[in-house]
Amino acid sequence: MTDQRLKSPVEHPMKPAAPRLEAEARQPDHGQNGKGQSPAPPARPTRQRLRVALFALLPIALLLGGYIYVTGGQIISTDNAYIQADHVGVSTDVSGLVASVDVKDNQRVVKGQVLFTLKPEPFQIALASAQAQLGNVRNQILNLKANYNQALAEIDQAQIDLAYYQTSFQRQQTLLSVSAVSKTNFDDAKHALDSTRQKIAVAKASAQMVLAQLGGNIDTPVEKQSSFLQAQAAVDEAQRNLNNSVVRASFDGVVTNVDSLQVGSYLQPPQSGISLVSADHLWVAASPKETELTHLQPGQPVKISVDSYPGVEWHGTVESISPASGSSFSLLPAQNTTGNWVKVVQRIPVRISIDDADQKPPLRTGMSVQAQIDTGSARGLPFSGLLAGKSTAHE
């Protein structure tokens, strides 16, 4: 009995404990904290307000996007653009050994500055020979003029002799008719007359020959004679070759590829010794798509940005538009008549001048460029062109 009473008070209170814990576990948690604060309000009204705001902003976004589309499209932007500059392979039209190289690689030079020099001795010798030949020609011309004057003097002398021998012949002929002289004297007088006439003919022919060599005019100056001009041209050619043995820069720029030319190497035309790239005359060669050229015209403003200088902007102008696509000048142009033809959007080269290159970072040929051309013509409504075409056809 004692054991039962002792166990009963312990067993009976423990029986309802498990159901009470399960009930508490099933009760929902209203977010009450340990301090007895009230639960947070539900999030349903906030979501509803957000949804309403989004639906209200949708028409505004559509209108704004439509406005941007209609009023946009006047900017042609292309990254298929690069800096270009005048560049030339510096060479000379005479052959010779390189005597000196007067510049270094990537050195900036000015117009007229000496780049390299060929050995001058062969050209100096040729010039001296041409000058000597010019002197000989001058002497020959003066000799011809003297010969012509001598021929004229001989003609005058023969004309005087002719008058004398003519009178003597007539006298001998009169005396022979009365048998006052012998036939021998008459023959001598006739021979002297004929000989004098022949001398006059020879002298005149010699004078004409000399006159022909003098260009038909004895009064023509020596410097105007054809033979003298020919000899003078040889002197000028020799002098030009000597001058061209010293190669100078044809414009301001930067020289490169200098290391390929060494002292002692033999240079012959048209082999180029040094490359010269202009540092001032630069432009942008852009190639926009053909579908973007509807409103493109020369003279339109351009904004230029170079990949090498982020944040720096240049301004330019459309200078010219190529009359043909870039592929038209390729070595093997596309054969569009073949059966496996695939349409490819072509690109038209556009030349853009740079207006404010001064006081800006230096530009170098080949740099990548982002060009934005302002055509001034907005895109407009999608069906505006179609409506305009119909109205025109109706009229």
Amino acid 303: pLDDT: 95
Q: Residue 39 domain-assigned?
A: no
140 plus 227 within the same structural domain: yes
Let me know: does 306 contact 363? Beta carbons within 8 Å.
yes
Q: Residue 131 domain-assigned?
A: yes
111 plus 248 within the same structural domain: yes
221 plus 156 within the same structural domain: yes
Q: Residue 364 domain-assigned?
A: yes
92 plus 234 within the same structural domain: no
264 plus 181 within the same structural domain: no
Q: From 192, 224, 240, give the residue that closes a domain.
A: 240
Query: What residue type is assigned to position 386 of the chain?
Result: L
Q: Residue 320 domain-assigned?
A: yes
263 plus 227 within the same structural domain: no
Let me know: does 258 contact 131? Beta carbons within 8 Å.
no
93 plus 173 within the same structural domain: no
235 plus 269 within the same structural domain: no
Let me know: does 320 contact 298? Beta carbons within 8 Å.
yes
Query: Helix, strand or coil for residue 16?
Result: coil
Let me know: does 293 contact 321? Beta carbons within 8 Å.
yes
194 plus 234 within the same structural domain: yes
The CA–CA distances, whole Å, from 299 to 84, 130, 150, 290 equal: 19, 54, 75, 18
Amino acid 165: pLDDT: 81
Amino acid 51: pLDDT: 77
The CA–CA distances, whole Å, from 24 to 20, 27, 28, 283, 304 equal: 6, 5, 9, 84, 74
Task: Read off the pTM.
Answer: 0.63
Radius of gyration of the chain (CA): 53
Would you give the DSSP letter of residue 347? B
* CATH number, residue 250: 2.40.50.100
Q: Residue 19 domain-assigned?
A: no
Q: Residue 108 domain-assigned?
A: yes
248 plus 101 within the same structural domain: yes
Amino acid 2: pLDDT: 41
| Closest to 316 (Cα-Cα) out of 373, 278, 376, 361 | 373
Number of domains forming the structure of the chain = 3
Burial of 282 from C-beta contacts in 10 A (0-12 / 13-18 / 19+): buried
CA-CA-CA-CA torsion sign (390, 391, 393, 394): positive
195 plus 213 within the same structural domain: yes
* CATH number, residue 302: 2.40.30.170
Let me know: does 273 contact 261? Beta carbons within 8 Å.
yes
The strand order across the sheet containing 114-118 reads 246-248, 114-118, 96-101, 266-267
Q: Residue 18 domain-assigned?
A: no
Let me know: does 92 contact 247? Beta carbons within 8 Å.
yes
Q: According to DSSP H, which parts of 214-293 are helical? A: 226-244
Query: Helix, strand or coil for residue 199?
Result: helix
Q: From 240, 259, 290, give the residue that closes a domain.
A: 240
Q: Residue 57 domain-assigned?
A: no
82 plus 183 within the same structural domain: no
Amino acid 243: pLDDT: 94
Domain encompassing residue 261 = 88-119+244-274
List the chain pLDDT tens, one digit each, 395 residues. 444 444 444 444 444 444 444 444 444 444 444 444 555 555 567 878 777 777 778 788 877 776 666 555 678 899 999 999 999 999 888 999 999 999 999 999 999 999 999 999 999 999 999 999 999 999 999 998 888 888 888 888 888 888 888 888 888 787 777 777 778 887 888 888 888 888 888 888 888 888 888 888 888 888 888 899 999 999 999 999 999 999 999 999 999 999 889 999 998 888 888 999 998 889 999 999 998 888 899 999 999 999 999 999 999 999 999 998 877 777 776 666 666 777 888 899 999 999 988 888 999 999 999 999 998 877 666 655 444 445 444 44
